Structure 1
Amino acid sequence: MIPPEALQVALTDLLGDACLIAETLPDTDIRLWLIDAANMGRAFSPEETRRILEEPPYWCFCWASGLVLARWLAAHPEWVRGKRVLDFGAGSGVAAIAAAKAGALEVVACDLDPLALAACRANAALNGVQLRYSTDFFDEADRYDLIIVADVLYDRANLPLLDQFLSRGRQALVADSRVRDFQHPLYSRLALFDACTWPDLAEPAEFRRVSLYHATRQAAAESRAAG
């Protein structure tokens, strides 16, 4: 298969010899355009490293938390079936695609990065599902049944978003492998999983432990009332 031209050009600009390939994620029926694992087996030049750090190509990996969330939705379709879902920080679109495959009424992939949204479009087409797209979470109306989130808490500056997710959705599901001291009065941990980023970046074991957290607007309102 020929990769989407705009995505391949963007990846080539970062890593001249890197290629996108369509891969099926392990233990799923989801296919994504991902960086070829063969491109990860060499040392990067200082210039390549600089470019990667300045413009990380998040969209050409399936990060461990996104993989866990996608698997969870496939195993528990009742969380999204017939519902309106927004995938915050969609990246490759893996969780949004999983929600669509599980029978969601509507799925919006939301990401600030135009390349991420281009990857979401290409990956949605690869999986034969339809998504809607948004560049600004706060421009969205308060109309969603569920906000799904994976791999956005690597930057602790994003932690205040945990409160904001319930401003647009009745419930939130957050998958994370980075925050070891996760404490939030509205979120409880549903489960803990082992998973790795795909292609495998050989990340430390601590980043292969993915927690899935759940919060509801009703619980938030009750907490404020008791307050």
Structure 2
Amino acid sequence: MTPPHELQAALNRLLGDARLAATPLPGTELQLWLIDAANMDRAFSPEETRRILEEPPYWCFCWASGLILARWLAEHPHWVHGKRVLDFGAGSGVAAIAAAKAGALEVVACDLDPLALQACRANAELNGVELSYSADFFTEADRFDLIIVADVLYDRANLPLLDQFLSRGRQALVADSRVRDFRHRLYSRLAVLEACTWPDLAEPAEFCQVSLYHAQRA
């Protein structure tokens, strides 16, 4: 299977010998175009490290929180079945694709990064689902039943988004493994589940503990 040309070219600009591979996700029926795990076995040069830090290729990993959210929707399809869903900060599109597989009426994959939206398109095709796409959450109308979110709270500056999610959706479902003092008057924790980023980045064990939070518009 040949990787999508534009995504492969973008990855090669960062890591010259890196390859994308259609990768099955553990504990799911999904697969994504992800960086080949074999590329993670070597040390990166200083120049490669600089490029990765300046332009992180979030879209070629399935982060732990996204994997947990995808598994959750597959196991609890009533969250999305027959509903209009927006995946905020979609990245690879894993949660959006899981929502579509679980019977959502409509799924919008939303991400500021054009490469992420290309990855979402390629991964949707790989999994045989149709998504819609958006580059700007704040241009979307208040018409969604559920906003799904994974791995966007790594920067505490993003915490105010927790309120904004409910400006476009009646409910929000947020997966996070980074914020240890998560407190918000509208959000309650549903579960704490375990997964690792794929391919495995050997992250600290604490980042493999993913909390799921739910909020409903007052």
Q: CA deviation at 1:4?
A: 0.1
Q: CA deviation at 1:54?
A: 0.2
> 1:30 and 1:154 mapped to 2: Cα distance?
25
Q: CA deviation at 1:85?
A: 0.1
TM-score between both structures, scaled by the size of structure 2: 1.00
Task: Report the residue type matching 1:75 in the other structure.
Answer: E
Matches within 5 A, 1:55-94: 55-94=55-94
Any idea what SS the aligned residue of 1:68 has?
helix
> 1:173 and 1:201 mapped to 2: Cα distance?
25
Q: CA deviation at 1:64?
A: 0.1
Matches within 5 A, 1:1-227: 1-217=1-217, 221=218
Q: CA deviation at 1:201?
A: 0.2
The residue that corresponds to 1:225 in the other structure is none
> 2:30 and 2:194 mapped to 1: Cα distance?
19
**How big is the alpha-carbon RMSD for the aligned residues of Structure 1 and Structure 2?**
0.3
Q: CA deviation at 1:53?
A: 0.1
> 2:53 and 2:70 mapped to 1: Cα distance?
27
Please list every run of 5 or more consecutive structure 2 residues that lacks an aligned counterpart in the other structure.
none
> 2:25 and 2:172 mapped to 1: Cα distance?
24
Q: CA deviation at 1:160?
A: 0.1
Task: Report the residue type matching 2:96 in the other structure.
Answer: A
Aligned length: 218
> 1:176 and 1:13 mapped to 2: Cα distance?
30
Task: Report the residue type matching 1:38 in the other structure.
Answer: A
> 2:89 and 2:29 mapped to 1: Cα distance?
22
Q: CA deviation at 1:7?
A: 0.1
Deviations 1:137-177 (A, max 9, x none): 00000000000000000000000000000000000000000
TM-score between both structures, scaled by the size of structure 1: 0.96
Task: Report the residue type matching 2:165 in the other structure.
Answer: F
Deviations 1:33-76 (A, max 9, x none): 00000000111111000000000000000000000000000000
Q: CA deviation at 1:100?
A: 0.1
> 1:177 and 1:171 mapped to 2: Cα distance?
20
The residue that corresponds to 1:224 in the other structure is none
Deviations 1:74-110 (A, max 9, x none): 0000000000000000000000000000000000000
> 2:24 and 2:107 mapped to 1: Cα distance?
21
Any idea what SS the aligned residue of 2:185 has?
coil
> 1:209 and 1:180 mapped to 2: Cα distance?
10
Higher-Rg member (1/2): 1
Any idea what SS the aligned residue of 2:166 has?
helix
Task: Report the residue type matching 1:37 in the other structure.
Answer: A
> 2:195 and 2:119 mapped to 1: Cα distance?
22
> 1:41 and 1:185 mapped to 2: Cα distance?
43
Task: Report the residue type matching 1:193 in the other structure.
Answer: L
Task: Report the residue type matching 1:16 in the other structure.
Answer: G
